[in-house]
Amino acid sequence: MLQWLQAHWLDLLYAIIVIVVALFISTILERAAKRALLTRVSKSTADNVAKLIRYSILVVAVLIALTSIGVDVTGALIAGGFLGIVIGFAAQASISNFISGLLLLLERPFKIGDFIHVGDTIGMVVEIGILSTTIVTWDGVKVRIPSSQLFNSSFRNYTASRARLVSVEVQIPYSASIEKAVEAIESKLREQWYVLEEPRPMVFAKSFGGDGVVLEVRAWTPGSTWLMLYSSLPRLVKSALDEVGIEIPFPQRVVWFASPLKTEGGAK
Amino acid sequence: MRQLIYGLNLSSQVVSKLREEGITLKLENQGSFVLYQREGGFPVSSVRKVVTTTRCREEDFLAYPVHSTQPEISTNLLLRLSRPIIVAPHSTISIYVKVPISVGIYLFNEETQMLIDSFSRHTYKYALYGSTASGMICRFHRTDVYLQVPEKELWNAITKVIIENDSEDYCEVKNIVFPVLNTMTYVDEQGAAYIETIRLHISRGGLGFTSLENAPPLDGLKEGPRQFGKSQERVVKFLLEFGF
């Protein structure tokens, strides 16, 4: 042992220096990566990526150090490679999620707080992890979506849009003035702070319906106030028509009875 | 005699001026607390806050101009000139415009200040500057163009815009967009509000940039409280990528 130390002390020193330098560099890089990522992704994702960087540097450093002191790492590498294949087969889905997660982190198609629509799920992104993303649906349910599903399927990001269009159709009686209805609805919409001044709200006669003239009402709103307009547009349209005395027509049916209907008072 | 309210503490003159506008402000002394109440105004129509008076007095509540935008919607202002201006090549002109402003109620002491409430009589309106695919939402305001300092108003601040056409062609200017939340506010002795001078530079290639001049539009104005943090980067140059 002493002989080995006398012969290889320089290599051993070199190996120790490699490990120390790697520890130093990996710590610095871990912190730098965490700082850089914290503003872009969730804390847990930033931690994961930073740790991955650190341990990768340390593994390489250990291999270099072992080689420098004469340890044959070929066997370990082959064993490691074989183990990797076995683990790879066993954890195919996880690896797919992991790689998809990394690619999503690079692409950044959404951020925390965005409303996204994936498959049948709509909700707010609350956490972006490497393996999965967590969203909270409208009714407060937390849903975990694997990264590979997000990466391989199309999804809608409602919040990323700067401006969004909301439209609704309404009928007015054939006897009512289209101009009066259009003016009343447009004016009502322009009063709302969340309806954009430009592009201006637009109301136009679209077609002739069974109960009246069909008007299409279109208004733009900032992406962040979409729900506000979406949930209030029918109410605003009805209120505008009520104010100018235009009733929204509804289907009416005339019912004929095969035999005279007897009522309590005896009236027919 | 002050005509407007900016730079004043919440005296009866300020309170009655706001009441004329349909906004009721009330400060109620409750021993070691002051109850601040407001009814009316936009974006929030009713506010009630309790302030401890350990280190403040009623006189420490002051009204100052604050930018009339909701930062979560937009921090930029799009001014639409009611009469577009045609600027000759290689020339510079100065105009005055009106910028929407809200009333901010600040709590001051010797060391620090805090904005405790802000409101306007009018609803804020926004518009999309640019296309629906890549434009940006801006606070929207139509303004006349003035060659002299215009009449002072409660809900509008005055600013000077220097338009500098460095290009070889005539340029028509109808939109001025800039990061309003980063601009400095000022008040004069009559209690009117101002914001810092804006420069619109039209480059040789016909591109428009607005920049903040870091100077008041008139001499003798008093600086208002800053609305951007000390550590916050103050964006001073803005590219009008969708035209001016």
Q: What is the pLDDT of residue A34?
A: 82
Backbone angles phi, psi at A84, to 5 degrees: -60, -40
Which residues partner with A135 through β-bridges? A125, A143
Q: Pull the structure tokens for residue A231.
A: 């949930």
**Does B127 contact A224 at a Cβ distance shorter than 8 Å?**
no
**Does A193 contact B135 at a Cβ distance shorter than 8 Å?**
no
- Tokens 């530079």 appear where? B201
Which residue of chain A comes nearest to B72, CA vs CA? A224
- CA angle at A255 for the pair A251 and A256, rounded to the nearest 5°: 155
Q: What is the pLDDT of residue A266?
A: 58
Peptide bond before B225: cis, by omega within 30 degrees of 0? Answer: no
Whether the CB of A220 is below 8 Å from some CB of chain B: the reply is yes
Task: Give the dihedral of Cα atoms B35, B39, B42, B44; nearest 10 deg.
Answer: 60
**Does B126 contact A197 at a Cβ distance shorter than 8 Å?**
yes
pLDDT in tens, B22-70: 999 988 887 788 888 999 999 999 999 998 866 556 678 899 999 999 9
Positive or negative torsion for Cα B233, B238, B242, B244: positive
Q: Residue B235's pLDDT band (boundaries 50, 70, 90)?
A: low
Looking from the CA of A212 toward its CB, the CA atoms found within 13 Å total 22
- B106 in Cβ contact with B116 (< 8 Å): yes
- B140 in Cβ contact with A163 (< 8 Å): no
**Does A198 contact B43 at a Cβ distance shorter than 8 Å?**
no
Domain A163-243, what fold?
A: Alpha-Beta Plaits (3.30.70)
Q: Yes or no: is domain A109-157 CATH 1.10.3720.10?
A: no
Here the ipTM equals 0.86
Q: In Å, what is the CA distance from B174 to each residue of A164, A233, B135, B179, B207?
A: 25, 31, 17, 17, 14
Whether the CB of A39 is below 8 Å from some CB of chain B: the reply is no
- Return the top range by mean pLDDT from A97-106, A147-156, B156-165, B219-228: B156-165
Q: What is the 3-state secondary structure (H, E, C) of chain B?
A: CCCCCCCEECCHHHHHHHHHCCCEEEEEEECCEEEEEEECCECCCEEEEEEECCCCCHHHEEEEEEECCCCCCCCCEEEEEEEEEEECCCEEEEEEEEEEEEEEEEEECCCCEEEEEEEECCCCCEEEECCCCCCEEEEEEEECCECCCCCCCCCEEEEEEEEEECCCCCEEEEEEEECHHHCCEEECCCCCEEECCEEEEECCCCCEEEEECCCCCCCCCEECCCCCCCCCCCCCEEECCCCC
- A100 in Cβ contact with A72 (< 8 Å): no
CA distance B100 to B89: 30
Looking from the CA of B136 toward its CB, the CA atoms found within 13 Å total 17
| C-alpha B239: how far from chain center | 20
Query: DSSP secondary-structure letter at A224?
Result: G
Q: What is the pLDDT of residue B1?
A: 54
Q: How many residues does chain A have?
A: 268
Q: In Å, what is the CA distance from B198 to each residue of A110, B81, B146?
A: 35, 14, 15
**Does A225 contact B73 at a Cβ distance shorter than 8 Å?**
yes
CA distance B195 to B143: 15
Q: Residue B2's pLDDT band (boundaries 50, 70, 90)?
A: low
Overall average pLDDT of the B209-235 stretch: 79
User: In the predicted model, what is the mean pLDDT of chain B?
Assistant: 88
Task: Give the dihedral of Cα atoms A133, A134, A137, A143; nearest 10 deg.
Answer: 100
Whether the CB of A109 is below 8 Å from some CB of chain B: the reply is no
Q: What is the pLDDT of residue A76?
A: 73
Q: Which helix (H) or strand (E) holds A213?
A: strand A213-222
pLDDT in tens, B176-198: 999 998 889 999 999 999 999 99
For residue B42, the chain A residues in CB contact (below 8 A) are: 193
Q: Pull the structure tokens for residue A266.
A: 């005896």
Burial profile B42-68: b = 16 or more Cβ within 10 angstroms, e = fewer: beeeebeeebeeeeeeeebbbbbbbbb
Range with the poorest average pLDDT among A131-135, A162-166, B137-141, B232-236: B232-236
Positive or negative torsion for Cα A231, A232, A233, A238: positive
Q: What is the pLDDT along chain A (268 residues), one digit of tens a residue?
A: 777 777 778 888 888 998 899 999 988 888 888 888 777 666 767 777 788 888 888 888 888 888 888 887 777 778 777 777 777 776 777 777 888 888 887 778 888 888 888 888 888 888 888 888 899 998 899 999 888 888 888 888 887 778 999 999 999 999 999 999 999 999 999 999 999 999 999 999 999 988 899 999 999 999 888 889 999 999 999 999 999 999 998 877 788 888 887 777 655 4
* Residue ranges covered by each domain of chain A: 2-90, 109-157, 163-243
Give alpha helix (H) positions in A39-173.
43-68, 74-90, 92-107, 147-152
- C-alpha distance from A222 to closest chain B C-alpha (Å): 7
Q: What is the pLDDT of residue B54?
A: 64
A2-90 — its CATH code?
Answer: 1.10.287
Q: Which of residues 190-209 of A touch B (CB under 8 A)?
A: 191-194, 196-199
Please state whether the predicted TM-score (pTM) of the whole model is above 0.80.
no
* Residue ranges covered by each domain of chain B: 8-239
- A116 in Cβ contact with A68 (< 8 Å): no
Q: Pull the structure tokens for residue B143.
A: 């303004």
- C-alpha distance from B40 to closest chain A C-alpha (Å): 16
Q: Pull the structure tokens for residue A205.
A: 């006669």
CA distance A53 to A58: 9
- B90 in Cβ contact with B165 (< 8 Å): yes
Q: Residue B231's pLDDT band (boundaries 50, 70, 90)?
A: very low
CA distance B179 to B175: 14
Q: What is the pLDDT of residue B229?
A: 58
**Does B128 contact A162 at a Cβ distance shorter than 8 Å?**
yes
Q: What is the pLDDT of residue B151?
A: 92
Overall average pLDDT of the B160-189 stretch: 92
**Does A220 contact B128 at a Cβ distance shorter than 8 Å?**
yes
| C-alpha A107: how far from chain center | 13
Burial (Cβ within 10 Å: 0-12, 13-18, ≥19) of residue B118: buried
**Does B137 contact A196 at a Cβ distance shorter than 8 Å?**
yes
